[in-house]
Chain A
Amino acid sequence: MKKFRLPRLLIVSAVLFVVIQILHSREIMNGYILHIINQSLIYVILAVSLNLINGITGQFSLGHMGFAAVGAYVSGTLTSLVFKINPSSPNAMPLFILAIVAGGLAAAVIGILIGFPSLRLKGDYLAIVTLGFGEIIRTVFNNIDYVGGPRGLLGIPKFSNFPIIFAAAFITLVVVRNLIQSSHGRAMLSIRENELAAELVGIDTTHYKVMAFSIGAFFAGIAGGLLAHLLTLAHPTQYGFIKSVEILIMIYAGGVGSITGSTIAAFALTFLSEGLRIGIRAIADTTGLPIGGEWRMVVYALLLIFIMLFRTEGLMGNKESRIITIEEAD
């Protein structure tokens, strides 16, 4: 007899959602903190989807923000230039969600295109090629005048709000979790552990690598679209190599292959980053020393180096929290 188990992830998420909503509506939590929570949730989507490519399938990708850029520009173009959505009209939300999904799908197509070279390349060569693709995507947007070129795409309506971003992050977690725990996920893990052995036992490594790239890219595109509609703009410099590295830091800090770790690290590092921004400004103001915002990135870089030197396996290592996993039936 199979025992009925409560879906823990759903319950924990629902409780968190309600608590944050109440705190916000009672004005205990101000709009600024809610904004950072929204950003953290978008980073959760980015980190978990990159973890599927890097951590689970073991394909080192350095161009994740390139996918996000595709999602941001495609959805932003649709809402602001093509549909020209009037925010007060009743079909604004459905059209917005359609645009976001379209952005995700466009990113997935690019992900499949980039997945193919990965079939031939390994390790650091793949890293360089994905970096190159990411930069090419950025350069392309930088040179298309229709989407603003180097000025960026401005005037994107502010449709992203806490419930929508929360739902997107929740869906990402559930989909990636279910994927990892399915036979497809085991096949991806086997590619990470030993590609040759995986091939020898009959796993179609090509199929699973492209699958990981396209699913990862899809969610990155969704995240990019949500970010563009949260900040009301999409700018080429938001999607550069350094941003991809920030996502990479999140998955390595959280533990490669652990989506629990990625989720925690996305929140921790986004809040740390904001904290540093405020802290550095406060120090500069009180002491009058010429301390610039660059120190924030200095701390970030040192953090990355120290994680690698002293805790290579990250916060969670390879483990998942029991909140995330589905218990196997015994």
Chain B
Amino acid sequence: MGSIFSIQQVINGLQVGSIYALIALGYTMVYGIVRLINFAHGDFFMLGAYAAYGTFFVFNALIVSKSGVTAFFVLLASMAAGGIIALLTNQLAYRPLRYKPKLSSLITAIGVSMFLEYFLSALPMVGPSYRPFPDVIPRVNIKIGTATISNIVIIDILVAAVLMVGLTLLVKKTALGKAMRAVSQDKDAARLMGIDIEKGIAFTFLIGGAFAGAAGLLAGMTYPRIFPYMGIQPGLKAFIAAVLGGIGNIPGAVLGAYIMGLAETFASAYNSLIGEGIAFAILIVVLLVRPTGLLGEKTADKI
């Protein structure tokens, strides 16, 4: 394998970082707009993976598999599942608590997360055990210099990049994106300007959930297995990435996610126990030294 910092490790780190980035974006956008740590976000990721799994088998049964077409619809299904469940969660569980103390939303989010995980493990057709994830796209290994890279790695990094460019365009160029930014800056002023706040929040959940769903598909293809609790660890890591970048800040989440991905890959290559704990170590150091994260802005306490 060579040294800890080989090209192979850098590419692996970028791949892990890409998956974290897609999840972290949803965390950071939701936090930016409603100031809520959406604990259930990792479960939207898990639901995306399960939706992809189901869609793949339906497609394989219905039509003779054309892997490109199938892959496209599988991606669409994973994003739709993540997005719609996120939207429903917002409307049913978070919206009634919008003007109650913030902690009640946080606890509700923990409840939603537990519900989604245990509900899927309780369903007889899903169950709590691991399932192997099918090869949506046949795995091919490419040799570049000393490193061996599978095409899945390249797909992970590319899909994440394309989605992130799309998000940037949406947030920066469209009226909807402008409304979302306005709501996250100042809700009351946005309302006075005639912006439908709830619509902005709903779209944020929809997009964040869809990104998490897509990440679920990518993670399923990468570590080819899925299970109902698969969202807990990546969700926590992605949240830490968002805090590291400065929560509420979109480029910060992506930066934080890639840093986390690389740090974790290098640390695991060194020692697996350190790899397990490095995320929390990073979190605690960041919160103690620079609680607003790398790109976050400092806000003063209002008296």
Contact = CB atoms under 8 A, between A and B. Distances in A.
Interface in A268-298: 289-292, 294-295, 297-298
Contacts of B110: 245, 248, 304
B115 A132 contact: no
Specify which of B101, B106, B111, B276 lies most central, judged by the most chain A CB atoms within 10 Å of its CB. Answer: B111
A125 interface: yes
B283 A127 contact: no
B243 interface: yes
A123 B102 contact: yes
Contact of A304 (B114, B127, B128, B280): B114
A93 interface: no
B303 interface: yes
A20 interface: no
B128 A292 contact: yes
Contacts of B103: 60, 123-124
B108 A125 contact: no
B144 interface: no
Interface string A295-306: 101101110110
A245 to B, nearest CB: 6
Interface stretch (B92-100, B151-159, B183-191): B92-100
B97 A309 contact: yes
B118 to A, nearest CB: 4
B158 to A, nearest CB: 31
Interface of A is mostly: helix
Interface residues of A, number: 39
B284 interface: yes
Interface of B is mostly: helix
B283 A312 contact: no
Interface in B55-89: none
Contacts of A252: 107
B115 A129 contact: no
Contact of B37 (A127, A132, A143): A127
Interface string B132-164: 000000000000000000000000000000000
A241 B107 CA distance: 13
Contacts of A294: 118-119, 121-122, 128
A121 B303 CA distance: 18
A120 B288 contact: yes
B124 interface: yes
B112 A305 contact: yes
Contacts of B104: 308, 312
A196 B112 CA distance: 32
| Interface size bracket, B side | 35 or more
B54 interface: no
B170 interface: no
B205 interface: no
B109 to A, nearest CB: 9
A124 B284 contact: no
Interface in A63-79: none
Given A301-B118, A305-B93, A309-B97, A132 B284 contact: yes
Nearest to A290: B124
A139 B128 contact: no
Contact of A301 (B102, B114, B288, B303): B114
B96 A309 contact: yes
Contacts of B224: none
A66 B222 CA distance: 32
Contact of B277 (A139, A289, A292): A139
Contacts of A15: none
B273 interface: yes
Contacts of B288: 117, 120
B111 A308 contact: yes
Given A121-B287, A128-B239, A292-B128, A308 B107 contact: yes
Interface of A: 60, 117, 120-121, 123-125, 127-129, 131-133, 135-136, 139, 143, 196, 241-242, 245, 248, 252, 289-292, 294-295, 297-298, 300-302, 304-305, 308-309, 312
Interface of B: 36-37, 93, 96-97, 100-104, 106-108, 110-112, 114-115, 118-119, 121-122, 124, 127-128, 232, 236, 239-240, 243, 273, 276-277, 280, 283-284, 287-288, 291, 301, 303
Given A248-B110, A295-B122, 18 more contacts: A60-B106, A125-B287, A128-B37, A129-B287, A132-B283, A196-B303, A252-B107, A292-B128, A294-B121, A300-B114, A301-B119, A304-B107, A305-B108, A308-B97, A308-B108, A309-B108, A312-B100, A312-B104
20 contacts: A60-B103, A117-B284, A120-B287, A124-B103, A124-B106, A128-B243, A129-B283, A132-B284, A139-B276, A139-B277, A292-B128, A294-B121, A297-B122, A301-B112, A304-B107, A304-B111, A305-B108, A305-B115, A308-B97, A312-B104
